[in-house]
Structure 1
Amino acid sequence: MNLSSRAVEAAKSMLSGEAGLKVSVEAIQELRGNLEAETRFEVNTDYWHSKVTERVPANRFPKISVSLVKLKRGQQEKLTDSSALATLQIEVINTLERADLLQSQLSDFVDAICDVLNRNSGLWSQGVFYAGGFTVEIQPVSKGGLNYVQNATITFEIHLWQD
């Protein structure tokens, strides 16, 4: 598997795993006293322009996309055949009929993703290391089709190498 695929798959596995996003979202919702019957979301590896996502048909739960946005290869690391620094992006796209509920639900997912990243610094898999640190950008609510749409982007870097 090449470095770029390894980066995206490691991040997707970390979010989808047993101690991943579902656990964090449910813990946040429970603290606020509004635990839903079942926390549902979809994690995939699509990478769309934000204008396109406004036209995506609405489903009833947030869509989380993991994508590679930049791969930087510096000097050759000793003891490895190849190494790189990957910039990954997790985008949360949500749509609801009410703007106030939309912002609240999106905040829960952003906080949960930040929690998962904070809890999982270190080695994610063979040749994939997350040292910590991320940035979050939240877009304003906009009208999209019949509902309101809002998205947030969490950007972070991971170190990749191949022996």
Structure 2
Amino acid sequence: MTFTIQEVLERVAGILEEENGLRDSLEQIRGMYGMGSEQAWPAGVRILKAAPEHVDKALGSRYPAVSLFCDRVRSRPTEKLRRFSGEVQLSVEVRVSQDRLEGITEKLHYYSDAVRDVLERNRGCIGPGLYLSEETAVQIDPVKKGGSFYLQSSRVMCTVIVNRE
């Protein structure tokens, strides 16, 4: 059986949304960032790759926002008798917005670290023939206009190794 990109995306989205997922990580690291209990929870994980202005226009703006998308699928025929052997590179994009510059980057780091924590805690087998790699990378983008005056985003990148018969 081969795999679909959607299958990989839904599995990783499920990991982020499950009981010990993103909300649990946000609770655990709240004290390290000095965040109060008034911090907003992300509405959920959207499987979507779109510019913030298009998302705000089409779906309305709610921040923080978490989106998941596939960056690349790479076939690596290292295992000869497999139908597919390779990797899927995913990105989890975190967007925060507020009306002041002060604290926006710290808030982004808080949510990005929580996403990274979930991915690191769930390394290994995440489904039949799907393995979440130990490597993650975080890219922080500069603040720009958007959302509620100011918008900043980051991408937490990870790799899912796929080996299917």
Q: TM over 0.5: same fold?
A: yes
Q: 1:126 aligns with which of 109, 128, 134?
A: 128
Q: 1:120 to 1:145 in 2, by over 3 A?
A: closer
**SS of equivalent residue, structure 2 residue 131:** strand
1:70 counterpart residue number: 72
C-alpha distance in 1, partners of 2:105/2:83? 45
Matching residue's letter, 2:88: A
Shift of 1:157: 1.1
Total equivalences in the alignment: 160
**SS of equivalent residue, structure 1 residue 40:** coil
Shift of 1:60: 4.2
Q: What RMSD over aligned residues (CA atoms) do the two structures have, in Å? A: 2.1
1:143 counterpart residue number: 145
Matching residue's letter, 1:154: V
- The 10-residue stretch of structure 1 (115-124 or 98-107) with the greater mean CA deviation from structure 2: 98-107
C-alpha distance in 1, partners of 2:55/2:10? 24
* TM-score, normalised relative to structure 1: 0.86
1:6 counterpart residue number: 7
CA deviations on 1:89-137 (whole Å, 9 max, x unpaired) are 1111121112223222111011111111221111011121012111111
Where does 1:75-114 land on structure 2 (aligned, <5 Å)?
A: 75=77, 77-78=79-80, 80-114=82-116
The answer to whether the Cα contact below 8 Å between 2:33 and 2:110 also exists between their aligned partners in 1 is: no
C-alpha distance in 2, partners of 1:77/1:39? 45
Runs of 5+ in structure 1 lacking a partner?
Answer: none
Runs of 5+ in structure 2 lacking a partner?
Answer: none
C-alpha distance in 1, partners of 2:80/2:130? 16
Does the alignment pair 1:158 with 2:157? no
The answer to whether the Cα contact below 8 Å between 1:7 and 1:160 also exists between their aligned partners in 2 is: no
C-alpha distance in 1, partners of 2:12/2:39? 23
Which structure 1 residue ranges, 4+ long, deviate > 4 Å from structure 2?
none
Does the alignment pair 1:24 with 2:14? no
Shift of 1:161: 2.4
Percent same amino acid at aligned positions?
Answer: 26
Matching residue's letter, 1:23: D
Q: 1:59 to 1:145 in 2, by over 3 A?
A: closer
